[in-house]
């Protein structure tokens, strides 16, 4: 039973990583850049939801929607102001800019909302299910997290596979120049990608803070890095890959903590990552693309 408990904790943690990783992977797949500010967009989303629910007493659903709206706008703004002017610049310049945006958001949050930790309201409630005569307990937060993750992944897969915008995204991902020649507006496609990625970040932030209700301006940075790892693990650019990578990473982390050492859990996670990348350099589900020279 303890094993099952650990497995559930792992899947729950992994689902959060997966949702964050989906944001990373979409932006990377289409804009070919690592948006290191993604973790901080999560933090902003959590703060918006916190203020809506705790300060203004709005219902949780409104809080989540408000967080999504603000994050979507923030994502588009960041893309317009910080990344778009650098579209022709070398990718290293964009990467450094992303790190700069990350620090800007963190310190901005600290100025606006003070560094004092805040306790996130329980959006989902504190209830739990007791199974097998109480030997296995599953909190509602865990259930909601796992369910949201599955729903989001299915929706995104359908969106990229079956809608016009989704097709445009895939076209941009393969060849921006050719896509433009075919009449696809590359810039607005990239903006939509950022909007979706940031909206997802808001959901991830709310779920993250519901499970671990501690909100500070640096809340998003560590989960952001872990989720980036998950995206690489699963094959960056691949949506099912991000999901698989996220969940595996969460499960490995919890198991390593439980059965190996609480101190070495991160080291174990990264050792697994190195091993996978040695065997499959494109990640678990990544496509191997041979570069044309």
Partner 1 sequence: MKHTTMKKMIAFALATVMLVALCSCGGGNGGESAASEAFKLGGTGPLTGGAAIYGNAAKNGAQIAVDEINAEGGIQFELKYEDDAHDAEKAVNAYNALKDWGMQISLGSVTSAPANATSAEGFADRIFSLTPSASAPTVIEGKDNMFQMCFLDYPTQGGASAQYISDMALGEKIGIIWKNDEDYSTGLRNSFVDKAAELGLNVVAESTFTEGNNDFSVQLTEMQNAGADLVFLPMYYQPASLIFSQANAMGYAPKWFGVDGMDGILTMEGFDPTLAEGVMLLTPFNADSTDEATQAFVAKYQELYNEIPNQFAADAYDCVYAYKQALEAAGATPDMTAEQLNDLMIEQFTSMSFDGLTGTGMTWDSTGAVSKSAHGMVIQDGAYVGLD
| Contacts with partner 1, residue ranges (CB under 8 A) | 2, 5-6, 9, 13, 50, 54, 107, 110, 115-121, 126, 128, 130, 137, 139, 141, 211-216, 218, 222, 253-254, 257-258, 262-263, 266
Is the Cβ of residue 5 or residue 157 nearer to partner 1 in the bound state?
5
Cβ contacts of 98-103, under 8 Å, gap ≥ 24: 98/33, 98/34, 98/35, 98/36, 98/37, 99/36, 99/37, 101/36, 101/37, 101/40, 102/36, 102/37, 102/39, 102/40, 102/221
Q: How far is CA 105 from CA 34, 144, 222, 233, 257, in A?
A: 16, 28, 15, 27, 31
Minimum CB distance to partner 1, residue 283 (Å): 24
Contact between 277 and 235 under an 8 Å Cβ cutoff? The reply is no
Is the Cβ of residue 115 or residue 281 nearer to partner 1 in the bound state?
115
Is the Cβ of residue 23 or residue 223 nearer to partner 1 in the bound state?
223
Contact between 65 and 228 under an 8 Å Cβ cutoff? The reply is no
Minimum CB distance to partner 1, residue 139 (Å): 5
Q: What is the per-residue DSSP string for 47-64?
A: HHHHIIIIIT---HHHHH
Is the Cβ of residue 157 or residue 218 nearer to partner 1 in the bound state?
218
How many residues does the structure list for the chain?
Answer: 293
Minimum CB distance to partner 1, residue 291 (Å): 36
Minimum CB distance to partner 1, residue 50 (Å): 7
Minimum CB distance to partner 1, residue 52 (Å): 12
Is the Cβ of residue 19 or residue 26 nearer to partner 1 in the bound state?
19
């Amino acid at each position: 039973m303890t094993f099952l408990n650990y497995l559930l904790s792992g899947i729950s943690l992994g689902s959060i990583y997966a949702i964050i990783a989906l944001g990373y992977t979409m932006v990377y797949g289409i804009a070919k850049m690592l948006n290191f500010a993604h973790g901080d967009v999560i933090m902003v989303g959590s703060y918006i939801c916190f203020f809506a629910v705790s300060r203004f007493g709005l219902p949780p659903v409104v809080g989540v929607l408000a967080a999504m709206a603000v994050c979507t706008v923030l994502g588009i703004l960041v893309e317009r102001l910080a990344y778009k002017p650098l579209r022709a610049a070398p990718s290293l310049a964009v990467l450094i800019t992303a790190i700069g945006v990350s620090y800007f958001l963190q310190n901005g949050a600290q100025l606006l909302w003070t560094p004092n930790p805040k306790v996130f309201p329980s959006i989902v409630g504190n209830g739990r299910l007791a199974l097998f005569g109480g030997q296995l307990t599953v909190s509602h937060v865990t259930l909601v997290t796992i369910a949201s993750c599955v729903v989001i992944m299915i929706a995104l897969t359908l969106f990229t596979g079956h809608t016009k915008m989704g097709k445009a995204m895939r076209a941009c991902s393969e060849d921006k120049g050719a896509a433009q020649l075919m009449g696809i507006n590359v810039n607005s496609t990239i903006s939509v990608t950022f909007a979706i990625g940031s909206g997802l970040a808001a959901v991830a932030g709310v779920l993250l803070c519901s499970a671990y209700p501690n909100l500070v301006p640096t809340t998003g940075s560590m989960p952001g890095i872990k989720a980036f790892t998950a995206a690489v693990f699963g094959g960056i650019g691949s949506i099912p890959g991000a999901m698989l990578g996220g969940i595996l990473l969460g499960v490995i982390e919890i198991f390593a903590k439980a059965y190996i050492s609480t101190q070495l859990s991160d080291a174990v996670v990264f050792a697994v990552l190195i091993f996978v990348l040695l065997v499959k350099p494109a990640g678990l589900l990544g496509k191997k693309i041979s570069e044309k020279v």
